[in-house]
Amino acid sequence: MPKDPSSDDYVIGVLGAGAMGRGIVQVAAAGGMTVRLFDTRSEAVDEAVSFIGGMFGRAADKGRMTKEEADAALSRVHPVSSMQDFAGCDAVVEAVVENLDVKKVVFAELESIVSDDTILASNTSSLSVTTIAADCAHPNRVAGFHFFNPVPLMPLVEVIAGVLTEEWVCEALMAIGRQMTREPVRVNDAPGFLVNQVGRGFNIEAAHMVQEGIADTVSIDRIMRDGAGFRMGPFQLMDLTGLDVTHPATVLIYEQSFHEARFRPAMMMEARTRAGRLGRKSGGGFYNYDGGQADTPEEAPAPAYDRRPVWVSGAEPEGRADVLGVLNAAGARIDEGETPGADSLIIVTPIGDDATTSAVDQGLDAERTVAVDTVMGFGMRRTLMTTPITDPAFRDAAHGVMSADGVPATVVNDGPGFVAQRIVAMICNVGCSVAQMGVASPEDIDKAVTLGLNYPYGPLAFGDRIGPARILRILNGIYGLYRDPRYRPSPWLTRRAKLGVSLLTPNARD
């Protein structure tokens, strides 16, 4: 019978002493578990043990643990000189290079060493657990155990069941994760598992918008950080992670999902990867780095409002009210006519549509029309959008008056869903697709994304805050212009929007 992971004599083996492997060892030892660490490079093991000892020492110095606890934790780390030393381990976690052929060789060798009821877990971030297990003699005891970097600071771990993984294996890994003081979530095998699927909605969609000429990288980062509440913009995040990590994972998820349109990579990411513009690690990515600090261009001040009259469309009553509140506070001249006067700036507040569609559908002069996003970031950073023929004088007037209260505004080119509407709708839609496919429960989807990606809300909760019907409308607006299946709404979203219920609502039989 498999041993209880909370047993005092439970032993974990960790294969690979890189950043991920040593992080797993650190949290396991801190959680009271005995750990054996092996790497084909013996010096890597020595470096890892020294690093872990330093981390425990620092924790003791800062009062997060006593010196006795630090010493005890380090004493539970046992460097070993051969994979043969994993004999007798109750579970082994593989954390080697992200290469399927290498992992298959590793698992075949492990099976020749450990007992039949030893759990074999892979820390893979994007390779199919089912495929890794396929050539194993006992695929039923193979699972994914996906930690996030840096492991000691990122509380999430995904416990991934392959097609043949037995329930006791996942239950044991959930218990092991909790013993390591992590927050484990159950996931069924799927391309990119849970967190990496949802993350594609953030970075890929931003890259596609740059390719389309809607906005530059700095503007998108400002909008998503200041307006939508993300800790980092998508291009800041990709520079931190490195395009050599982000782009290959995107390509792999796209290929494993049989070219699912939602995961289609952006060409600019391939080009920049080949050019070596990887991010902070290479000294330059979407930003240049001087001494490790990003060289971020300063934002130009908004133009002064020139006092021309402003007419606000009533097609979206809530949006009109929001804009009028800002205009009145700024002392703007309001055009109260049923139709705009001949010299008035025209403001529209579309949901999902672009400025051109709004102007044409409402019979407005596109040369004087500027769209304002009142759905996302209106009180923190406003997004203004022009048609292809908006007169620069009207654009500048809109920029000036809509930032007169001190809230910064970013002007972008025409595109359905502005910037934040489009990215958040995609994040939500991918989360809904994950729920629809049964990859994870609605609660675990949101929990995993907030813990693993540090998003302000999980994808389903984000959709609830904006409103499922609005998210559906945004996606339909984008799809209506592009006719690209990447924007087709998930049935999970469509049904709950029609029923007027939370996106966290499970199916009745779940």
Is residue 1 over pLDDT 70?
no
Pick 11-188's CATH classification: 3.40.50.720, 3.40.1380.20, 3.60.130.10, 3.40.50.2300.
3.40.50.720
Strand 156-161 to 142-147 pairing: antiparallel
Query: What is the pTM (predicted TM-score) of this model?
Result: 0.94
Taking only the tens place, the pLDDT of each residue in 190-234 is: 999 999 999 999 999 999 999 999 999 999 999 999 999 999 999
Pick 195-295's CATH classification: 3.90.1150.10, 1.10.1040.50, 1.20.1290.10, 3.40.50.11740.
1.10.1040.50
Is residue 4 over pLDDT 90?
no
Q: In a 3-state reduction of DSSP, which class is residue 128?
A: coil
In this structure, what are the phi and psi dihedrals at residue 111, rounded to the nearest 5 degrees?
Answer: -65, -25
Q: If you ran DSSP here, which 8-state letter would residue 243 be given? A: H
CA distance 216 to 201: 18
Taking only the tens place, the pLDDT of each residue in 451-501 is: 999 999 999 999 999 999 999 999 999 999 999 999 999 999 999 999 999
Taking only the tens place, the pLDDT of each residue in 413-433 is: 999 999 999 999 999 999 999
Is residue 2 over pLDDT 80?
no
CA distance 463 to 144: 29
Number of H helices, E strands in the chain: 19, 15
CA distance 410 to 412: 7
The DSSP annotation for 432-483 comes to HHHHHTTSS-HHHHHHHHHHHH--SS-HHHHHHHH-HHHHHHHHHHHHHHH-
Is residue 510 over pLDDT 80?
no
Termini Cα distance of the chain: 30
Query: For tokens 């000429």, what's the residue?
Result: 213
Q: If you ran DSSP here, which 8-state letter would residue 383 be given? A: E
Taking only the tens place, the pLDDT of each residue in 347-376 is: 999 999 999 999 999 999 999 999 999 999
Q: How many CB atoms lie within 10 A of CB 40?
A: 12
Distance of CA 181 to the CA centre of its chain: 23
Q: Which residues are catalytic?
A: 146
E strand or H helix at 270, and its extent?
Answer: helix 267-274
CA distance 492 to 464: 13
